[in-house]
Structure 1
Amino acid sequence: MRSAPFLGLSVAATLSGCAVPEARLRAGLIDAGLPQPIAACMADRMVDRLSLAQLMRIADLPKATASESVPQFLRRVRALGDLEILGVATSSAAACA
């Protein structure tokens, strides 16, 4: 019975572990020029489909100088050279736009 509190802690740590990459990705998408509602929707979808390394690559895209359209953002994602990232970003953008 003593392991029950530890189980709760490990579940909480696992659940919060997903929130950090999603929050960083959402902030990165907003910095890349996407509107907040689209960035939040895309981050929610993408975090379940890409590896942590792939999520960090997208989150680390340089800041846009002005609001960027989704097609402009996808051109920058394509420049990363990762077809899986591009496919997930494209499908997420289509579902969220």
Structure 2
Amino acid sequence: MTSEHPEPEQGASVDDIEADIERTREDLGDTVDALTDRLNVKAQAKRKAEEAKAKATSFAEHAKDAGTTDDGRPDPKVLAGAGAVVALVAVVVVVLIRRRSR
């Protein structure tokens, strides 16, 4: 394990040694905090849920903006495309139902 801070040299002053001890304590505290965070499954799950919520919100806003005109009305091209997709899915479902009933 390597250290970010080299140890004081032989014959270092008391102030240098005390400063080294303080840096070591801070490093150890940071390490303990990081380990505690990794072991806290509930906090990790909450963080992941917040990230997923933020992504979903961002996606919904983008989709909402992409499907409307400048004045806020639904974009006819998007509606036509959505209608075509619905029609295609309906055709596929009908074909699959007919094939299964044979």
Q: Provide TM-score, normalisation by structure 2.
A: 0.33
Q: Provide TM-score, normalisation by structure 1.
A: 0.34
Bigger relative contact order (CA 8 A; separation at least 6) = 1
